[in-house]
Structure formats: structure tokens, C-alpha cells
Amino acid sequence: MTERTRQEGQAGSSCVKWEEFPVYLNADIVVCGGGSAGAFAAMAAAREGADVLLVESEGYLGGSAVGALVMPYMTVRVPGEPRCSYLHRELDRRIKEYHQEKHIPNSSDPVVHGILLEQMCQESGARILFHAKVCAADTQKGEIRAIAVACKDGIRKIQGKVFIDGTGDGSLAVLAGAGYDAGHPKTGVNQPMSLRYIMDGVDKTALGEFLDSLGDPENARSGKAGGGLFGCVVEKRDSALKPIFRQAVALGDLEEQSMAYWTMFEIPGRGDAVAFNNPEFFDLTDACDPLQLTELMMRGKAFIYRELMFYKKYFPGFDNAYISNISLVPGIRESRRIHTKYELTAADVLGQRKFDGCISQCNYPVDVHGGEGLFQDDLPEGSPDRPWYEIPYDCLVSADLENLLVAGRCIGADFVAQSSIRIQICCHSMGEAAGIAAAMCLEQGKLPGGLKGEEISGRMKRQGADYIK
């Protein structure tokens, strides 16, 4: 393992008297977190014939894509897309079938997205437990034996043989005692969190005509030519919308923070709705601090209400608009990064490094929000005829716990690399790889560290994953 600043996990064994708790549920593979990685891990393992229990703290699957309204999803930008897991392709097919002629590439209605994931998960044979938040782990001799989950009626004990952390924040791994890194390598500060929202009652014809009249299709367009309605204002580049925001700030109708990062787009199938990726809070960055999460939810809603008034005054088409949905959970870009057998680095991403037995290929740029001087917006600099980097299986294998795999934005990666690999389509592949690996561990009587990446990627390809050789 590379030399890194090590933070010790908060082993949960001391706060729970494990012998006093009866076993509530038992499974060969226990997946914690039903988001973009965890749901795919559970489905992949169950389709391999394993006995799988998926434990989710909320009442839905899909994580950020559903609860945080993070759509549309970014693409891996590898030639000949899609380059993705076989389960991602199946989900995308079902989304297209639902939306039909109203389909927008790489996007979906978040509610439908979650329902389709639940259907796929149930069809796979995986069991689902909602409203159960992992709060402790029984770790003995370097292995997790059981977890405790907080439910409405108290603490419940769940046993398993192989565990997968798909919580995004690495919650299971940290509770079990795994080491981790967090935040900017110099300051320890995480990337900012956001609170997304949706407005209905929008006259999108009037709004689209206004956007097109600005003559800046890169940052303001109706979507008539395809791709959907879109608007963008960010600090880093000019936009025809920026003077409107500046005027509103000058007149006290808007706070300057609203200009830091603002995007607007439409949702397929929702005729009078538009969605927004903001407000973004650069002073609220610790996704594991309940006080910061509380402040973000409260302050974010006040921002959103003020922005509604701004749209009504400055944008055509918002006369009858109203706030129809505010994300249930914050949009979290980065929190903890668990120590794994291999740590993906900025040099790997920017150098477009290839690995034997890769489980994901990606050419998405470095995307550090608020990270001055950290390769912001740099594109990879590898071979032009093979323009992508790869994520190896070893980034999913815990360095500290023998029967733990991690999947999603909390895998082993440095701060810069994580800003690229955190997109949903990569998380889908990580989850699929972790699920297949867990099932193979049971088949072969091995621990995750005893498997080779080539075995995992080979099984993924046989199932239909699309990767370039």
C-alpha cells in the first residue's frame, strides 16, 4: 500500500454487546448501501446465484440519482460508447422503453429510475431491507462477522460472510476499523455539497425561446436540436446568462453564491418541469458531519425559495412555476476514500494508465469543484489512439479487512482521481465487479484479496459488459 496519511476507522464493536443481540437476518453476501454502486453489486451477486441481502438506510434504491436528483448522468467519454457494465445497459434499455419518444440520452426521471432499479433487484433474487442504517460492525481477526443496523424499533443484528460497502461515505468500512483518507491532500477539506431541486409549472416554450435568443448555445439553449433544454452559469467561463445573474446580485435579488455553479436542464417525460444543480455550498463540505448536513438542508431550501423569486422576475416562462421537489439528501461529491489494495492516482488518470483485469474504463475529466491548482478541468494526456484510463479490481479490495469490498465513490483513489471516477456509470461498473467478486469468493472458498482482476473482468465480459481490449 502506498504511503498515505492514515485515519483509523471508528470500530463499532465496543459500542454494541454483540452476544446479547439475536440474529435478525443472515445472508452470504451483505451489501450496505443501495445507491449507484450498491444496487448493482447486489444484483450482480444475486444473478451469480448467491444469497444476497441489500441494506439501505433510506426507502428507495438509486442513491444520488434518485434521492439527490443527480441527473442527467455523465458518460465515460470512451470511443464507441457505451463502455459500461451489462447491468447499466439493461437499466438504460428499460429507461428508454419507458420514456420512448420523450427519451433524452443519459437522463431519466429520478422516480422512474428508482422504481426500475427496485424491479431489477427483485428480479435478480436479492433481498432488500429499507430504513436500516449501518451503525456498528463486529470485527474479529481482520474480518467482519456481523453488522448492527439502526431501525425504527431499535438495533438489529445482521450476519454475513462477505460484505460490500456501497454507502458512498465508506460508513461500513470505517465502522469496522478500516483506514481511510478524506479531502484535499493539503487542507483535508472535501469538495462542496449541493442541494438540487425541480420546478414544475414552467412554460418551457417561452423559456426555450428566451434561451435561444441569447445566442450562446453552449450555455443557453432550448434543446430543439436535441439533448434537452439547458442553461449554465459557472465561475470559470463566460455565459450569456451571467449578466442577468450579476444584475440580480447587484439589486439584491440573488446572492453571489448562486453564480458559483448553476445548471438547468429538463427531465424526460415531465412536460412543464426543469431541474437545477445548485445551490452549491463551499463552506459545507463534510458529508459525515450531521451538523453540516442539517445546515445545508435548511440553508439550501432558503436559497431555493429565493431563486424561485429570481426566475419569476428575470426569466420568461416562470410566472406559474413552483418548487415541486427538493432532493431528499445532499448531492455529495466526495467524503471518505477507503484504503484498498491499490490506490488509483491522479497520475494514473491523467496518464491514462491501463491495468490487467480492469473493471471500468473512463475518459471523464478531472472534476474538482473548488480545488484550485489541482488539475481542474485537465483532460487525460495518454495515447490518442487509446484515450481512456482504467480502474483495476484491486481498488475495490479493502487493505484492512479481509472479507470487505468497497464500491462507488469511496473506493481507493486519491483526491484528484476520485473526482473523475465518481460518476454514476463508473459506480455501476464498480458495483457489478464487487458483486461478481463476492459471489466468486463463495464459489471458490477465497477472500476478495485472493482473486485476480482478470477473473472478475472476464466474468463481467461474459455477462455482457462492454470494454475495449
What 3-state DSSP class applies to 43? helix
What are residue 230's phi and psi, to 5 degrees?
-155, 145
Mean pLDDT of the chain: 92
Strand locations in 403-445 (E)? 404-406
Round to the nearest angstrom and report the end-to-end CA distance of the chain: 27
At 4 the pLDDT is: 44
Closest CA to 8 of 172, 153, 179, 122: 179
The answer for 139, left when phi > 0, alpha when psi is -120 to 50, beta otherwise, is beta
Amino acid code (one letter) for 394: D
Closest CA to 9 of 180, 259, 264, 245: 180
| Kind and range of the H or E run holding 221 | strand 220-221
Question: Is the separation of the CB atoms in 333 and 405 below 8 Å?
Answer: no
- Residue 10 C-alpha from the chain's centroid: 23
Question: Is the separation of the CB atoms in 171 and 34 below 8 Å?
Answer: no
What are residue 151's phi and psi, to 5 degrees?
-115, 175
Task: Give the C-alpha separation, 312 to 271, whole Å.
Answer: 19
Question: Is the separation of the CB atoms in 135 and 149 below 8 Å?
Answer: yes
- Domains observed in the chain: 13-187+335-463 (3.50.50.60), 193-326 (no CATH)
Task: Give the C-alpha separation, 287 to 189, whole Å.
Answer: 11
Per-residue pLDDT of the chain (469 residues; tens, 9 = 90+): 333 445 666 555 555 688 888 999 999 999 999 999 999 999 999 999 999 999 999 999 999 999 999 988 889 988 876 678 899 999 999 999 999 888 888 889 999 999 999 999 999 999 999 999 999 999 999 999 999 999 999 999 999 999 999 999 999 999 999 999 999 988 899 999 999 999 999 999 999 999 999 999 999 999 988 888 999 998 878 999 999 999 999 999 999 888 888 999 999 999 999 999 999 998 999 999 999 999 999 999 999 999 999 999 999 999 999 999 999 999 999 999 999 999 999 999 999 999 998 999 999 988 888 655 544 455 556 677 888 999 999 999 999 999 999 999 999 999 999 999 999 999 999 999 999 999 999 999 999 999 999 999 999 999 999 886 6
Q: Residue 241 gets which letter from DSSP?
A: T
Q: How many CB atoms neighbour CB 99 within 10 A?
A: 17
Task: Give the C-alpha separation, 151 to 157, whole Å.
Answer: 10
The residues that bridge with 266 in the sheet, in sequence order, are 274
∠ CA 32-189-137, nearest 5°, is 25
Q: How many CB atoms neighbour CB 450 within 10 A?
A: 12
Question: Is the separation of the CB atoms in 395 and 342 below 8 Å?
Answer: yes
Task: Give the C-alpha separation, 64 to 74, whole Å.
Answer: 13
In angstroms, the Cα distances linking 430 to 42, 208, 252, 372 are 12, 38, 45, 28
At 2 the pLDDT is: 38
Flag whether the pTM goes above 0.85. yes
Per-state percent for the chain, helix, strand, coil, to nearest 5: 35, 20, 45
Task: Give the C-alpha separation, 199 to 284, whole Å.
Answer: 24
The residues that bridge with 338 in the sheet, in sequence order, are 180
